[in-house]
Structure 1
Amino acid sequence: ITTSVSPFLVLLKSKRRSRYSSPAFQFLTLTVVTFGLVLPLACHRLLYSYYFLKSWYLDAFSQDFLQRSQAAGEAAVRYFEELAREEHQEVDPMDRKRPWLVVTIVTVKRKEEYHYLLQVASRFHRLLQKCNHCDRHEIHLCNVQEVPEEHTEARVLGKFFPLTEMYGEAKGRPLDMADNRFEKEKQDYQYCLSTTLSAFNPEHVLLVEDDAVPMEDFFEVLQHLLTQRFSKPYLRDALYLKLYHPERLQRYINPEPMRILEWIGFGLLGGSLLTALYFSVRGCPAGWWPVFLFFMVYAMVFVELVGRHYLLELRRVSPQLYNVVPVTECCTPAMLFSASSATRVLHYLDTVQCRPGFAKDMALYSFLKQKNEQAFVVEPNLITHVGLFSTLRGIVLEPKLL
């Protein structure tokens, strides 16, 4: 009996081995293990991953972010206290050269415990102090608070940086905020841009909001972009360069179709590498096309589920690796204009009135097709948006990171 059964057992074992060694079984196993086990365990705490467990971590992450922001605000207060104790030598206006770049911080009164304006101003000042090529850079504050003296932080920083104020007894009153907050924001933006051009006559203007903190490599990357990338004719006359786009909107499956080519390119690269690795292990390159197609899709799904944001972060290794792509619609925390493009923007904004559903970012974006203009966005972001409390849409009682 044993002798008669043994061939059957050998045949059964060989069938099992062939089933387990078939590509279909291996690919199914790899897919289930990767997307059903490994990635959920590895990515459930990654804020911009599909696997992020909002119900578990979002509240705690948001509170931790606010606490760190408050600590950064207190550090910024100490920074300017120390700066005030140092002796400063005023520069004679006649000795000033035409600024290459003016960083204009558009500011209103915000929640005081976070010192958003101080965070932004101290970071820009510190980065400029250690920058070797920034001798023609200036920092300018533009206070658009309806009652300027209420914004005490801006008044205090006026001792360190040039300060202009849009409103006041001699300058008239703002629009009724209840009527149109969005039009007021647009007009504030116009005023700050126009004042920067007239007061400094710079080559470039960087308009940043007072909750947009620059990254440590900010000026190094900006120098590379403006002197290298934007020296090319098709980039030189851009209407603007956006330095921030919300991380939650940076995915491949999103309204911006230009990312599809990047996604496919990543799939081709990842699929090629994984296919080569697979056949080097199996040693049988026959039937490579279905294998390559599987690994291409596998790589594309992998990077999308983990989060494109984390792939972009790898570009911070060098300024040369930062990407410049056609602009997307949302948000204006940090916008770079040349002197000529700033003049065009001011003219364009005069022709529209903003309203709910058509804020200044949408107005700027709408000009691109209407006026046959082009604009670009830098990836990854060059600033961190630290404000979770909106001054335009009202204070959020329980702010969230997402």
Structure 2
Amino acid sequence: MNFLRFCCCRSAIIKRQICHVIVLYILVFCLILPPICYRLPFSVYYSQKLYLWNLSPSAYARQVNDERIAKAVEFFVSESVSARLQDESLLHIGNLSNSSSSNNTNVSTTVAFVTTRRTRSLHPTEEYSPRYLLQTVAAVVRENQPSTRILICNMDPEPSAHTDAVYLSEFFSVVSRYGDDEVSAPHGKHEKEKQDYVYCLKKSLQTNPRYVLMLQDDALVVPGSLQVLDYVVRTKVERTRHGWDFTPNNDTRKLLKLHTPEYIQRDFHTVKPKRIAANLAELVGYGLFGGTLLRLLHIILVEKGQSWTLFSGFFFSSVVCCILAALAISRPHLLELRRISKYLYVMLDANDCCLPATLLPTAAARELVSFLEGETCGPGYPLDTAVDDFVSSKGYQQFAVEPNLFRHIGMYSTLHGVENTYLKHFVK
């Protein structure tokens, strides 16, 4: 009789827990996540049609871009800013300190913008200019951390037609490769991109910096990211090795990618085993942390403190629920939580893709110039692939800093001649 009573009580408890788990899953996946995530481009709940209603992605992108242009124009025409920029000392912005040196002196870093005109025909008689360069330079200047030189490489075949570069030449160093009869643009777009990159690297090295930060003109710095970059360089590149070995390390044979496309940040099919392990560890961490919180809430609100046993069927169901919720939200959006503190940023093996924002030590930049001068780029061998070949052949390491320190705001590709029409490729 006692055994039957025990079995009945146990069965009732299990049924109650199953009901609680079902209610939890319905609340999370049907009531909580959909209204939160329908605006998040990489979430499984994202709906571009619901987010934009009758507005086309192109119109929305131009609207947001125009807002940034207005802010950048207002910034540069401000009398106080204009007066500051006229001071030659303020041609040096940002700060990466050489903590590995014995005297701890501040060392200059050259921020080089590779830029050209990007226009798009809206109507047969109307063209749209996104004016990325004005926005991205203004964003770096707003960081207001003295001692790093800004260099603008105007790679337009008609330099004088790039009006933003001409305007910014009043405040910053601007160099042009074309515009006379001595140098003509290569026929292939990929080869031109490579030669322009090499030219800008060479000009950057003439300023004798310790680091070169190579930026495409549509790489927009996230506010506060230069301070984070300084911290990453000091603690993860110059003073310590990557991983758990905290031996002082003066070897800076490391390249940092400061923007990774979001679709790469969320993948688990990368060829980088350490990235897969790190992503899986993150996912399990979300599950354990969220599952523990949900179990504690269940004890307090539902069980009324009758049992304080953490490990139960509800706990394990909650862990699975949080893992599935993390996958539904998507890793690029969860990475934004790490912006709370510079100590939460991570440095992972970089995937073999993309060069919107790259930090190179001077020695690496010089070797890269020599390497690229001996390569020919084309549709099957773009610049980023050539840089990856350089990294692997010369014994360098290539890391990605996450969350991204720069955002890619480009709607129009000068290389591929296409417009991004899906909102996940455009950030506000």
For 1:269, give the aligned amino acid. Answer: F
Q: How many residues align?
A: 378
Is 1:45 aligned to residue 39 of structure 2? yes
SS at match of 2:288: helix
2:220 to 213, 216, 221: 213
Task: Determine which structure has more spread, i.e. the larger CA radius of gyration.
Answer: 1
Give the Cα–Cα distance (whole angstroms) in 1 for the partners of residues 252 and 82 of structure 2: 44
Per-residue CA distance 1:126-177 (angstroms, 9 max, x = gap): 222xx3xx2x21111001112222212212211110111122325411111x
For 1:73, give the aligned amino acid. Answer: I
Contact 1:100–1:204 (CA under 8 A) maintained in structure 2: yes
User: Aligned residue for 1:86?
Assistant: 83
User: Aligned residue for 1:102?
Assistant: 110
1:387 to 398, 410, 428: 410
4+ residue runs over 6 A deviation: none
Per-residue CA distance 1:217-262 (angstroms, 9 max, x = gap): 0221122112222223535524311111123432254535242232
Contact 1:388–1:401 (CA under 8 A) maintained in structure 2: no
User: Aligned residue for 1:188?
Assistant: 196
Contact 2:237–2:254 (CA under 8 A) maintained in structure 1: no
SS at match of 1:392: coil
More helix by share: 1
Matches within 5 A, 1:168-207: 168-169=179-180, 171-176=182-187, 180-198=188-206, 200-207=207-214
For 2:291, give the aligned amino acid. Answer: G
Unaligned runs of 5+ in 1: 1-10
For 2:16, give the aligned amino acid. Answer: S
RMSD in angstroms over aligned alpha carbons? 3.2
SS at match of 2:353: coil
1:341 to 340, 344, 364: 364
Measured after TM superposition, the shift of residue 56 of structure 1 is 2.5
Give the Cα–Cα distance (whole angstroms) in 2 for the partners of residues 114 and 368 of structure 1: 33
Is 1:266 aligned to residue 262 of structure 2? no
Give the Cα–Cα distance (whole angstroms) in 1 for the partners of residues 52 and 42 of structure 2: 11
Unaligned runs of 5+ in 2: 92-104, 120-127, 243-250
User: Aligned residue for 2:395?
Assistant: 372
Give the Cα–Cα distance (whole angstroms) in 1 for the partners of residues 407 and 185 of structure 2: 29
TM-score by length of 2: 0.78
TM-score by length of 1: 0.83
Structure 1 residues 358 and 264: CA distance shift in structure 2, 3 A: farther
Matches within 5 A, 1:2-401: 18=12, 21-57=15-51, 60=55, 62=57, 63-82=59-78, 86=83, 88-90=86-88, 100-111=108-119, 113-128=129-144, 131=145, 134=146, 136-169=147-180, 171-176=182-187, 180-198=188-206, 200-235=207-242, 236-251=251-266, 253=268, 255=270, 257-258=276-277, 259-279=279-299, 282=303, 283-284=306-307, 288=311, 290-396=313-419, 398=421, 400-401=423-424
Give the Cα–Cα distance (whole angstroms) in 2 for the partners of residues 138 and 290 of structure 1: 59
Contact 2:143–2:223 (CA under 8 A) maintained in structure 1: yes
Give the Cα–Cα distance (whole angstroms) in 1 for the partners of residues 218 and 62 of structure 2: 13
- Structure 1 stretch displaced more, 358-367 or 46-55: 358-367
Give the Cα–Cα distance (whole angstroms) in 2 for the partners of residues 92 and 378 of structure 1: 27
Contact 1:98–1:201 (CA under 8 A) maintained in structure 2: no
For 1:378, give the aligned amino acid. Answer: V
Contact 2:345–2:402 (CA under 8 A) maintained in structure 1: yes
Measured after TM superposition, the shift of residue 208 of structure 1 is 0.7
